[in-house]
Amino acid sequence: MNSFKSHITILVVDDDPLINNLLKNSITNIGYNCYTALDAEQALTILEKHDIDVMIADIVLPRKSGLELAKITRKKYNCDIMVMTGFEKGIKYEDVIEQGAKDFIRKPLSPEEVMVRLNRILDERKIIFLQKQTEQKLKTNIDRLKRLVEATVNALASALEKRDPYTSGHQKRVATIACKIAERMNLSQIKIDGIRLAGLLHDIGKISIPVDILIKPSKLDAMEYEIIKQHPQIGYEIIKDIEFERPISQIVIQHHERLNGSGYPSHLKSEDIIQEAKILAVADVVEAMTSHRPYRVSLGVEKAIAEIDSNRGVLYDAPIVDACIDFIKNAGMP
């Protein structure tokens, strides 16, 4: 409650300094902050400079009435309003509420009554205050968990690179290319974030592949290639129990699947492959062809474009291929 009180500021507006001081003393004595004003102009200046939670204003003020002030305040500021007056004639409770006030106090004032009514209004604001505090704590915890996930993903990617220095940076480059494709396709940020994490992890299954196969300076034989083809399944097994926001393990296991069913490990066809895996597949091919490998030099960007374009709609999803070629031609390889 003390934390809540320290965040609350009250504004008292009355052309009688005695009333202002009386209410200010009562308000500050119970722990709230308080400003006072003698007319509407002073009040509006204070409202502009400070976050006021509740304004207690007399209806009868010089030049601009308390009801006019209430109407302006309600439209422009996140401030609850109480009005007070010693003149009951012609003043209806409904009119006061219509101008945005939450309560109506008659003079002569009883400070105790004012505090009771003020605390009733502040109880509502306290609920909102506590809700915002809870939301902020939740956001902080979520951000902390996201950073932990990021650190874990980077550690796993780094562990693989230490075993396979010849393809160092491959996973990061694939993640970057895949995200560029996703951005060109106007996918949601949560999907793009998932694609980036999957890109960083897509080859994590190679951590179980013998090093002599990973760094072999010549083409793999049939048996070695079958061993390599196990890495999507192994990667899936490694990360399947991690609770990501997106289906990262599914993206990892499917990134070598192809539209016509010729991919691995499950020979899935177009409708069974999730979009993120289709994007990663194109990014993986482009990055691999444009990078040096132990058994060959880079094949270059033009050959990479020719590969995905010639198999557009056959092995690779057509809109994804188009998005990839578009960003490469307009922005260049990242």
Could you give the 3-state DSSP secondary structure of residue 233?
A: helix
pLDDT at 310: 96
The low-confidence residues of the chain, meaning pLDDT below 50, are: 1
Domains and CATH numbers, the chain: 2-135 (3.40.50.2300), 164-331 (1.10.3210.10)
Question: CA 245, CA 254: separation in Å to the nearest integer?
Answer: 17
Residue 177: other Cβ atoms inside 10 A: 25
Strands in 33-37's sheet, in edge-to-edge order, are: 33-37, 9-13, 54-58, 80-85, 103-106
Question: CA 314, CA 303: separation in Å to the nearest integer?
Answer: 17
- pTM of the predicted model as reported, rounded to 2 decimal places: 0.60
**HSE (CB half, 13 Å, CA atoms) of 111?**
14
Q: Is 139 exposed, middle or buried (0-12, 13-18, 19+ CB in 10 A)?
A: exposed
Neighbouring-strand partners of residue 112: none
pLDDT digits (tens, 9 = 90+) for 182-234: 999 999 999 999 999 999 999 999 888 888 888 788 888 999 999 999 999 99
